[in-house]
């Protein structure tokens, strides 16, 4: 199997219970909506159709999940759960918010923050066997670049104070 990195420019990070920047039951993680993005590159190929991307991810054994819509009027939304591993000494995640590098202690500030623009790069794990006998890959954060938004949805770099000031 080839090692393919997923890069999403203009990614939509799902709000609310889909974010665990404060550290959840299984550590730090967040979910990316795969149906919305500006530009998506998987491996060396650019995808403009979300269905083609999902098919390519599933063919490469990535674990794509779907939301349970609250009514029949809504379609299930495909998403990818991305884990943040700060214990990886070889490839620690790079997290930049408004150009400021973030570490594990500063990450909880992002739990309820509004994002104007997000770029994310995700690396796969080795395929592991699930309880149902299928092989799946877990997504791990490689880099995350976030521009924060103010209450009007506009870019506002002064929304949070500089943690290094």
Q: Do the domain assignments include residue 11?
A: yes
Q: Do the domain assignments include residue 161?
A: no
Q: Do the domain assignments include residue 62?
A: yes
**Nearest-angstrom CA–CA distance, 138 and 104:** 20
Cβ(117)–Cβ(10) under 8 Å? yes
Between 84 and 132, residue with greater pLDDT: 84
Tell me the pTM. Answer: 0.81
Between 159 and 115, residue with greater pLDDT: 115
Number of C-alpha atoms within 13 angstroms, CB side, residue 45?
8
For the chain, the domain total comes to: 1
Between 20 and 121, residue with greater pLDDT: 121
Q: Do the domain assignments include residue 132?
A: yes
**Nearest-angstrom CA–CA distance, 150 and 42:** 31
The mean pLDDT of the chain is 82
Q: Do the domain assignments include residue 20?
A: yes
**Nearest-angstrom CA–CA distance, 114 and 148:** 6
Q: Do the domain assignments include residue 154?
A: no
Per residue in 89-112, pLDDT tens?
A: 777 889 998 888 888 888 888 888
Q: Do the domain assignments include residue 15?
A: yes
């Amino acid at each position: 199997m080839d090692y393919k990195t997923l890069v999403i420019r203009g990614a939509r990070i799902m709000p609310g219970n889909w974010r665990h920047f404060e550290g959840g039951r299984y550590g730090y993680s967040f979910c990316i909506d795969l149906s919305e993005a500006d530009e998506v590159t998987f491996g060396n190929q650019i995808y403009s159709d979300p269905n083609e991307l999902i098919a390519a991810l599933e063919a490469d054994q990535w674990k794509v999940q779907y939301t349970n819509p609250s009514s029949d009027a809504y379609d299930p939304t495909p998403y990818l759960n991305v884990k943040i591993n700060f214990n990886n000494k070889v490839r620690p995640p790079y997290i930049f918010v408004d150009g400021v590098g973030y570490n594990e202690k500063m990450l909880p500030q992002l739990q309820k923050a509004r994002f104007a623009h997000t770029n994310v790069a995700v690396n796969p794990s080795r395929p592991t066997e699930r309880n149902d006998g299928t092989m799946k890959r877990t997504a791990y954060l490689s880099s995350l670049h976030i521009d924060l938004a103010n209450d009007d949805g506009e870019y506002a770099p002064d929304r949070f104070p500089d943690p290094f000031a």
